[in-house]
């Protein structure tokens, strides 16, 4: 049985990953989270882990006291999270939200573990560096994002270089079909009300703006090596066709299933094998109709802005990502309106300087500048 470490274990993906581990008996060696120490303590005790890390130093101190009757080591800060990523094990499942996941992904690769990657911001910002490091260390990047898992599954057994196009599906989010006028005054509560998926707050807002789909186009470029103009985004309201591929002979293969992240999580852990799936199975007869249409890129500007960023390349994807992280935070705090998210992302994209050759430090610098650009625009 494989052993793992789980980063971001208290979040939506992290808790579902632990559900899969609990059911299938994976050994969990380490856990890391941002600040929710109550849940982290429970998880650490249940899975008898060797060590845990809490990003927030003060919270780590509190957790140390709570766990003092155990042998569990408590680490803190980004270094602590990276240490968890480097613990012995077969796979590091990264379910941290945001660019905060990038360094831990690199630490996990450095330690030779395969990566089950939910943290798409890792590839959006550090795709080139992460891919090069993974190649050097001979580790696999196994996608957990449902669309990328679907593409990965659709590609199994296909000859090299036969992929000609990716069909990336999008639910359209809670505001599908709305006009810009109708979006002017939408509330945080409305934006958090996703029709098909229950997820963390940041990705739920990203789904409402279609930023999530833009980040996923960039993620797909790095995972599958096709340029953005060979990735077709399709709004598919039912979230049953999780994405697909077109081969050079025109054949299209897609992966279908209920909208449940436990399947892509499970597949990343069992790959290249498949194991039994204990959750709800798909009944196409019950669903009846599957629909597909083009996204409204005039209303949902974040999607074309991400495509512009990956087409320009260099640090631009980091800039749109950083600006978006900052803008979403402000929106959730009630400090900006919904449509301002895209405006601020656009402003940063067109004002932060680009570099075609860059280091990890350049990425963090570009992220910082993008956030400053957003904050100085208020
Ligand atoms: P979430 O907000 O529910 O959970 C985030 C986790 O990261 C929490 O455990 C939090 O404590 C931890 N965290 C935050 N900052 C941290 C830091 N600096 N250091 C260490 N840990 C930190 O988010 P989520 O919905 O589970 O999403 C996680 C990632 O997976 C995101 O990148 C998201 O885009 C991706 N993803 C999520 C879903 C989904 O269904 N939720 C689907 C596809 C992809
Ligand atoms: Mg997705």
Residue 51's φ and ψ, nearest 5 degrees, are: -155, 155
pTM over 0.95: yes
Q: Report the distance separating Cα 9 and Cα 16, nearest Å.
A: 9
Tell me, using a 6 A CB cutoff, whether residue 13 lines ligand 1: yes
Q: Which ligand is nearest to the CA of 32?
A: 1
pLDDT tens digits, residue range 235-279?
A: 999 999 999 999 999 999 999 999 999 999 999 999 999 999 888
Give me the sign of the Cα torsion angle 291, 292, 293, 295. Answer: positive
Q: Which ligand is nearest to the CA of 170?
A: 2
Tell me, using a 6 A CB cutoff, whether residue 36 lines ligand 1: yes
Atom of ligand 1 nearest to the CA of 198: 40
| pLDDT for 37 | 98
Please, how many CA atoms are within 13 Å of residue 332, restricted to the half-sphere of its CB? 15
Q: Report the distance separating Cα 107 and Cα 179, nearest Å.
A: 44
Q: What residues flank ion ligand 2 with Cβ within 5 A?
A: 145-147
| pLDDT for 279 | 87
Tell me, using a 6 A CB cutoff, whether residue 34 lines ligand 1: yes
pLDDT tens digits, residue range 311-344?
A: 999 999 999 999 999 999 999 999 999 999 999 9
Q: Report the distance separating Cα 163 and Cα 230, nearest Å.
A: 10
List the residue whose alpha carbon is closest to atom 31 of ligand 1.
97
Q: In which residue ranges of the chain is pLDDT below 70?
A: none
Instruction: Pick the closest to residue 262 from 77, 93, 136 (CA basis).
Output: 93
């Amino acid at each position: 049985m494989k052993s793992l470490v789980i980063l971001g274990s208290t979040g939506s993906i992290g808790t579902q990953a632990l559900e899969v581990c609990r059911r299938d008996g994976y050994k969990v060696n380490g856990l890391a989270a941002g600040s929710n120490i109550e849940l982290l303590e429970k998880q650490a005790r249940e899975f008898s882990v060797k060590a845990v890390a809490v990003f927030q130093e003060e919270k780590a101190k509190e957790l140390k006291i709570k766990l003092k009757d155990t042998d569990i080591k408590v680490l803190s800060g980004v270094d602590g999270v990276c240490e968890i990523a480097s613990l012995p094990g077969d796979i590091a499942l990264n379910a941290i939200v945001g660019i905060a996941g990038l360094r831990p992904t690199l630490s996990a690769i450095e330690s030779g573990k395969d990566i089950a990657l939910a943290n798409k911001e890792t590839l959006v910002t550090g795709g080139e560096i992460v891919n090069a490091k993974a190649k050097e260390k001979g580790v696999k990047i196994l996608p957990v994002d449902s669309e990328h898992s679907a593409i990965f599954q659709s590609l199994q057994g296909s000859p090299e270089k036969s992929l000609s196009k990716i069909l990336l599906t999008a639910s359209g989010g809670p505001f599908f079909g709305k006009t810009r006028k109708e979006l002017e005054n939408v509330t945080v509560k409305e934006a958090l009300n996703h029709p098909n998926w229950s997820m963390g707050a940041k990705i739920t807002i990203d789904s409402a703006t279609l930023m999530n789909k833009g980040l996923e186009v960039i993620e797909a470029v790095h995972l599958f090596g096709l340029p953005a103009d060979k990735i077709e985004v399709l709004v598919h309201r039912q979230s049953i066709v999780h994405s697909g591929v077109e081969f050079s002979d025109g054949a299209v293969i897609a992966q279908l299933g209920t909208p449940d992240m436990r399947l892509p999580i499970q597949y990343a852990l069992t790959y290249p094998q498949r194991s039994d799936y204990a959750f709800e199975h798909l009944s196409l007869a019950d669903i009846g109709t599957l629909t597909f249409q083009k996204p409204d890129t005039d209303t949902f500007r974040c999607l074309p802005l991400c495509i512009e960023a990956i087409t320009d390349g260099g640090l631009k994807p980091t800039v749109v990502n950083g600006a978006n992280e900052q803008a979403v935070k402000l929106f959730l705090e009630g400090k900006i309106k919904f449509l301002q998210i895209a405006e601020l992302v656009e402003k940063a994209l067109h004002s932060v300087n680009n570099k075609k050759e860059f280091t990890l430090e350049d990425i963090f610098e570009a992220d910082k500048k993008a956030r400053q650009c957003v904050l100085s625009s208020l």
